[in-house]
Amino acid sequence: MRRPIIAGNWKMNKTVSEAVDFVRQLKVLVADVRDIDIVVAPTFTALRAISREIEGSNIELAGQDVFWESRGAYTGEISPSMLKDVGCRYVIIGHSERRQYFGETNELVQKKIKASLAMGLHPIVCVGEALEEREAGKTFDVVKIQVIQCLEGFSREEMEKITIAYEPIWAIGTGKTATPQQAEEVHAFIREQMGYITNRQISEGVRIQYGGSVNPDNISDLMVHPNIDGALVGGASLKADSFSSVVKFKRM
């Protein structure tokens, strides 16, 4: 059985004090949740404060991005060891906004995954097609290339630390969610591809989150599906009540 994982990606939102206020509320709201991994991904500037705030709670910390070198003259970058040092367990890698606005390629994503795994971080690796690609019937081709180029070549132990987030770009921040069936279809396909690049047993253990306009109203319908193991939540993760409602979704 794969343990569900629900992560809030705050993107470039919240000052440190806003982040601390948020997490104080969230801690109380989700204190009774035992069977789900709950993750928040604040901005780099808020990581330290949030790390202190969630100590001893059931909430875990993620970076929103990372660089592949461990130190040196890379102005503006943050290394895996720095994320680890500040208390991160997870790191989001290859988010479509990074790919779209900062030129991140599958090759760079793979380098970031490697460096993060070497530091013991658990990567959340994002894949997903653009609207034109879906409309041109290329969803599976695009996702297959992303899965292979980002994830091929890792050992069993490494694969066990990786979570994949399927985020169709057309559904991110648009209010347009993929239907649960559309999501399940791609998740099943990703798992099948993972089976080819590793083996069936390993791919059965890999968690695949859905991301793209997830909210308290659609999470239950998504989570019903056998290959949907959680969610990566943007907009709805910014308020404690909506994020906690996503985390405490009704099981059907």
* Residues involved in catalysis: 95, 167
Whether residue 9 contacts residue 39, with contact meaning beta carbons closer than 8 Å, is answered with no
How, if at all, do strands 37-41 and 5-9 pair? parallel
Query: Rule CB under 6 A: is residue 234 a binding residue for ligand PGA?
Result: yes
Minimum CB separation of residue 156 from ligand PGA in Å reads 27
Determine whether 162 is exposed, middle or buried from the number of CB atoms within 10 Å of its CB (0-12, 13-18, 19+).
buried
Nearest-CB residue for ligand PGA: 234
Angle at 238 between CA 42 and CA 161, to 5 degrees: 50
Residue 61 CB neighbours (<10 A)? 23
The smaller minimum CB distance to ligand PGA, of residues 197 and 238, is found at 238
Query: Rule CB under 6 A: is residue 106 a binding residue for ligand PGA?
Result: no
Query: Rule CB under 6 A: is residue 232 a binding residue for ligand PGA?
Result: yes
Minimum CB separation of residue 94 from ligand PGA in Å reads 11
Minimum CB separation of residue 187 from ligand PGA in Å reads 15
State the sign of the Cα–Cα–Cα–Cα dihedral 28, 126, 96, 84: positive
4 vs 226: CA distance, rounded Å? 11
Site track for ligand PGA across 190-229, x = CB under 6 A: ---------------------xxxx---------------
What is the phi/psi pair of residue 61, to 5°? Answer: -110, 140
237 vs 105: CA distance, rounded Å? 26
Pull the structure tokens for residue 42: 């604040």
61 vs 96: CA distance, rounded Å? 20
The smaller minimum CB distance to ligand PGA, of residues 80 and 128, is found at 128
Site track for ligand PGA across 137-166, x = CB under 6 A: ------------------------------
The smaller minimum CB distance to ligand PGA, of residues 42 and 198, is found at 42
What is the phi/psi pair of residue 37, to 5°? Answer: -80, 125
Query: Rule CB under 6 A: is residue 173 a binding residue for ligand PGA?
Result: yes
Contact set for ligand PGA, span 1-60 (CB under 6 A) = 9
Query: Rule CB under 6 A: is residue 183 a binding residue for ligand PGA?
Result: no
Query: Rule CB under 6 A: is residue 63 a binding residue for ligand PGA?
Result: no
- Residues forming the site for ligand PGA (CB under 6 A): 9, 167, 172-173, 211-214, 232-236
